[in-house]
A and B are shown apart, each in its own frame.
Chain A
Amino acid sequence: MEKSEHLDLYQQMVVIRILEGRSAELYQQGKIGGFLHLYIGQEAVSTGLISARKPQDRVITAYRDHGVAINCGISAKEVMAELLGKATGVSGGKGGSMHLADVNNNFWGGHAIVGSHLPIAAGLALGDVYQKQDGVTICMFGDGATNIGYFHEALNLSKVWKLPVLWVCENNQYGMGTTVERASAVSEIRQKADGYAMKNDNVDGMDIMKVREKALEMIEEIRSGSGPQFLEINTYRFRGHSMGDPERYRQQEEIRKWQENDPIGIYRRYLVEEKIASEEELNGEDKKANEIVEDAVHFAESSPEPAAEELFKNIYVEEGR
């Protein structure tokens, strides 16, 4: 990996961290509506994973999607503008926090019904197979999604049809406030892939280099025709499920323990120890990231609201209500 590539990934992680923090503030100020699910703590998962894709590889995820959007190449401006519901948002202000997408960057959303995007991911891969394209679909979902029927239908179908999908479970230990042990018959989620005779693995989601390495290996195997594979990535969200989470289900001690493994801290140490970048250089990246987010907030706040005529646009491609 080139140094510039490392610095880029590092910057993406810091942008996500700062953007999420600023989003929380804007939410508390009433500038962001609806639900807001923060990615803080999980930055290494999508940054590592998506750094391993090629341009033709599709990405689709659940509602905790701001970080994934940034990693897919959507600007912080367009993400922030969408959170504020502005016309300049990546979904024109009609989607909101949970429904970011940019098909030009091969990012297929932001889906808010738990597990529902898994069959759609199988379909994206089917579309590639049908059109003889060599893309791999990377489908991310939480541990909670592995308990709903869609998960099982989608995994089964992908295996039966040998679809090029990398199923990625971001196991952040809780489905809202319910621990994996209280909700899933197996606590090691990857075991569920065994039920579909699907090759599977797991990786430490706090270490971006480990995530990236594993993802590179699995994506290329899938591209070479292995059929779908399943990757469980262990991680932890440092904040609540959403902004309205009283967090009665976990102890501060547990959060503190995981925070010792802060994914940005781990990557930072790695870059310095391997002499890839100096502390000063990384501080410089932090500063740049901060500027990117502040520019994005300014852009979003000064952007126009969607015009009233947008209300009836894009219900259908063709005429009709």
Chain B
Amino acid sequence: MAKITMRQAISQALWEEMERDPKVFILGQEVGVWGGTYAVTKGFYDHFGADRVRDTPISEAAIIGSAIGAAIAGTRPVAELMTINFAFSAMDHIVNQSAKMHYMFNGQMVLPLVIRTVGGGGRQLGATHSQTPDAIFAHFPGLKVVAPGTPADAKGLLKAAIRSNDPIMFIEHATLYQIRGEVPDGDYIVPIGKSTVQRSGDHVTIVTYSKMLELSLKAAEQLAKDGIEAEIVDLRTLRPLDMEPVIESFKKTNRAVIVEEGWKSFGVGAEISAQIYEHAFDYVDAPIKRVAQKEVPLPYNRNLEQMALPQVEDIIKAVKEVL
């Protein structure tokens, strides 16, 4: 067990899986010679060579499309999309192809494909480079969507994703790369499709994932000073969604706040709250609250951007409203 950054944890998972299985290779923009735009694959090109760390042209459809083809042909590609915003240029291949092919051809084609990508706002990159559209990808049966919030989960989930035979969107958060946490050495696997309780408490359930886990934990610390103990459930995987820990926690606290970085409308919070009402209506003591991004394209100006993004104070306020 070592205390390392999220970036190191992801890098470690990739490295170990490439060492373990020669069928695993990386492709994407600037993954090789450059070492990855977020330096996740630094040193990979020199160690694994140009065949296994493949720099691509700026051709998102060709990156994902060719990764799909290579996957059904028997390899295990890890395709990197520099940011999730660019995934829209590959939407057809992600949605119409990767999510459908196993089912549509009656199981004949198997897609051990990981699409690593980076989402999230807060870095003054303007509206086109700051989105958190995770919920969109979670909409499609056939695709799995993973978004870790801690370094340990990032390592364990990425290793699980690379070993999986299903197409997986692995969404990292641009402002989490430098956070540190204890990460088990070597073969550490976190199963895909399992939510987990990151903090125990009896008064309110906070359901969240990815970057918003960090903010929710901070909010919980402050709430604890007022004697409010929040239980935090980290979804980790959006599809397949594991509601069990959420429902279990809610049956104990009877109150929930859902925190996501993306927009509220048609978002993760909408799904979670609907499922709580469906599965635990008799346990509801207060209307469920959602904390999410304001419904605007994210502006460049730092103050405006922070106004649009969910803040620790918003979570505290929402918790106090449901109590």
A residues lining the B interface (CB < 8 Å): 58, 91-95, 99, 101-103, 108-111, 113, 116, 118-128, 130-131, 149-150, 153-154, 156-157, 160-161, 313-321
Across the interface, do A153 and B107 meet the contact criterion of CB distance under 8 Å?
no
User: Is B51 an interface position by the 8 A CB rule?
Assistant: yes
Whole-angstrom distance between the Cβ of B7 and the nearest chain A Cβ: 27
User: Is B96 an interface position by the 8 A CB rule?
Assistant: yes
Across the interface, do A131 and B74 meet the contact criterion of CB distance under 8 Å?
yes
A109 contact set on B, CB distance < 8 A:
101, 105, 109
* Contact pick for B62, options A93, A110, A119, A314, CB 8 Å: A119
Whole-angstrom distance between the Cβ of B110 and the nearest chain A Cβ: 6
Told that A116-B93, A120-B93 touch, could you supply 19 new A-B pairs with CB distance under 8 A?
Answer: A58-B73, A91-B108, A109-B101, A113-B92, A116-B65, A121-B69, A122-B65, A123-B70, A124-B73, A126-B69, A130-B25, A131-B74, A153-B65, A156-B57, A157-B59, A314-B102, A315-B103, A315-B141, A317-B165
Closest residue of chain A to B102, judged by CB? A314
Question: Can you name 14 A-B pairs with beta carbons within 8 Å?
Answer: A91-B104, A91-B106, A103-B105, A120-B66, A123-B72, A127-B70, A127-B72, A130-B25, A150-B61, A150-B62, A313-B107, A314-B102, A317-B102, A318-B164
B101 contact set on A, CB distance < 8 A:
109
Closest residue of chain B to A316, judged by CB? B166
Cα-based distance from A120 to B101 in the complex (angstroms)? 11
* Contact pick for A316, options B61, B67, B102, B105, CB 8 Å: B102
Whole-angstrom distance between the Cβ of A72 and the nearest chain B Cβ: 13
Contact string against A for B residues 164-201, beta-carbon threshold 8 Å, 1 for contact and 0 otherwise? 11100000000000000000000000001100000000
Whole-angstrom distance between the Cβ of B26 and the nearest chain A Cβ: 12
Q: A118-B65, A122-B62 are in contact. Are A316 and B142 (CB under 8 A)?
A: yes
Across the interface, do B103 and A314 meet the contact criterion of CB distance under 8 Å?
yes
B71 contact set on A, CB distance < 8 A:
123, 127
* Contact pick for A123, options B68, B107, B142, CB 8 Å: B68
Q: A116-B93, A315-B102 are in contact. Are A128 and B61 (CB under 8 A)?
A: no
User: Is B222 an interface position by the 8 A CB rule?
Assistant: no
Across the interface, do A113 and B70 meet the contact criterion of CB distance under 8 Å?
no
Interface residues of B in 230-268 (CB under 8 A from A): 239-240
A95 contact set on B, CB distance < 8 A:
104-106
Q: A95-B104, A123-B67, A127-B70 are in contact. Are A153 and B165 (CB under 8 A)?
A: no
Across the interface, do B240 and A314 meet the contact criterion of CB distance under 8 Å?
no
A131 contact set on B, CB distance < 8 A:
73-75
B108 contact set on A, CB distance < 8 A:
91, 101-103
Interface residues of B in 52-83 (CB under 8 A from A): 54, 56-57, 59, 61-62, 64-75
User: Is B97 an interface position by the 8 A CB rule?
Assistant: yes
Cα-based distance from A318 to B57 in the complex (angstroms)? 32
Across the interface, do B65 and A154 meet the contact criterion of CB distance under 8 Å?
yes
Across the interface, do B69 and A94 meet the contact criterion of CB distance under 8 Å?
no
Across the interface, do A101 and B105 meet the contact criterion of CB distance under 8 Å?
yes
A157 contact set on B, CB distance < 8 A:
56-57, 59, 62, 66
Across the interface, do A160 and B57 meet the contact criterion of CB distance under 8 Å?
yes
A314 contact set on B, CB distance < 8 A:
102-103, 106-107
User: Is B144 an interface position by the 8 A CB rule?
Assistant: yes
Cα-based distance from A160 to B57 in the complex (angstroms)? 9
* Contact pick for B65, options A99, A123, A160, A317, CB 8 Å: A123
A315 contact set on B, CB distance < 8 A:
102-103, 141-142
Closest residue of chain B to A60, judged by CB? B69
Cα-based distance from A299 to B239 in the complex (angstroms)? 39
Across the interface, do B97 and A116 meet the contact criterion of CB distance under 8 Å?
yes
A103 contact set on B, CB distance < 8 A:
72, 105, 108-109
B75 contact set on A, CB distance < 8 A:
126-127, 130-131
Across the interface, do A127 and B74 meet the contact criterion of CB distance under 8 Å?
yes
Closest residue of chain B to A121, judged by CB? B69
Across the interface, do B193 and A120 meet the contact criterion of CB distance under 8 Å?
no
Closest residue of chain A to B144, judged by CB? A320
Contact string against A for B residues 83-114, beta-carbon threshold 8 Å, 1 for contact and 0 otherwise? 00000000011001100011111111110000
Q: A94-B106, A101-B108 are in contact. Are A153 and B62 (CB under 8 A)?
A: yes
* Contact pick for B96, options A116, A153, A156, CB 8 Å: A116
Cα-based distance from A128 to B107 in the complex (angstroms)? 21
Cα-based distance from A192 to B73 in the complex (angstroms)? 28
Q: A149-B61, A153-B59, A321-B240 are in contact. Are A123 and B97 (CB under 8 A)?
A: no
Whole-angstrom distance between the Cβ of A280 and the nearest chain B Cβ: 41
Cα-based distance from A300 to B51 in the complex (angstroms)? 46
Whole-angstrom distance between the Cβ of A54 and the nearest chain B Cβ: 16
Whole-angstrom distance between the Cβ of A161 and the nearest chain B Cβ: 8
Whole-angstrom distance between the Cβ of A215 and the nearest chain B Cβ: 21
Closest residue of chain B to A110, judged by CB? B105
B106 contact set on A, CB distance < 8 A:
91-95, 314
Whole-angstrom distance between the Cβ of A312 and the nearest chain B Cβ: 9
